[in-house]
Amino acid sequence: MSTMSNEENDTPLESFAGCHIGIVKMVRELAELPDLIAPVRRFQSITLRIEDFFNKVVKTHHSEEEQQLFTAVLASANSGDEMEKVEQLISKLTDEHREIERAFVYLIPQIKALEKNVVPEFNAKKVDSVVELYLAHARFEEEVFLPLAKTILGRNDNHMAALGLAIHMRHTVDDIRGEFGII
């Protein structure tokens, strides 16, 4: 019988031990899967809804503001400084609407491609930029324009009531169309 040195005897065992490093690493990654399910489902939910959200909510909201609210405030504003301020604010808000819409139009195809896992690189800074832009826009509207609109439209109850009715009717018709496909 030949005798092998201890070094020669250990080599086959070391190769088995070395295999466990990769296996253990993968098993540990496997253990992460339950924690990753909720974020993946959230991701899928957002990517599936973003285009409809943009088309049905964001664009509709901007359209209603521009066609109903801005028009009503302009029609009710006093001439002079107040009218000039209203025109400047409406111009700023309308420009922001277009900027937000362009940003969504840019992002939606990237998001849809990301959903299908075909985007080699995703620009997270663009998403952050859109979020910051929209939050600043909404904050400005809530803190500056809407209080002014309330003051201006509040001078004449009929103007406020007409705006409320127009918005209510638009949503009612849209709800019926969505539900039943008629009107």
Question: Which pLDDT tens digit goes with each residue over 150-161?
Answer: 888 888 777 666
pLDDT at 54: 92
Cβ–Cβ under 8 Å, residues 64 and 170 = yes
Region of 117 (left: φ > 0; alpha: ψ -120 to 50; beta: rest) is: left
pTM over 0.95, yes/no: no
Q: Walk along the chain (183 residues) in steps of 10 and give the mean pLDDT of each run.
A: 56 68 89 91 87 90 91 93 98 97 92 76 86 94 90 78 62 54 46
Q: Output the pLDDT for position 179.
A: 53
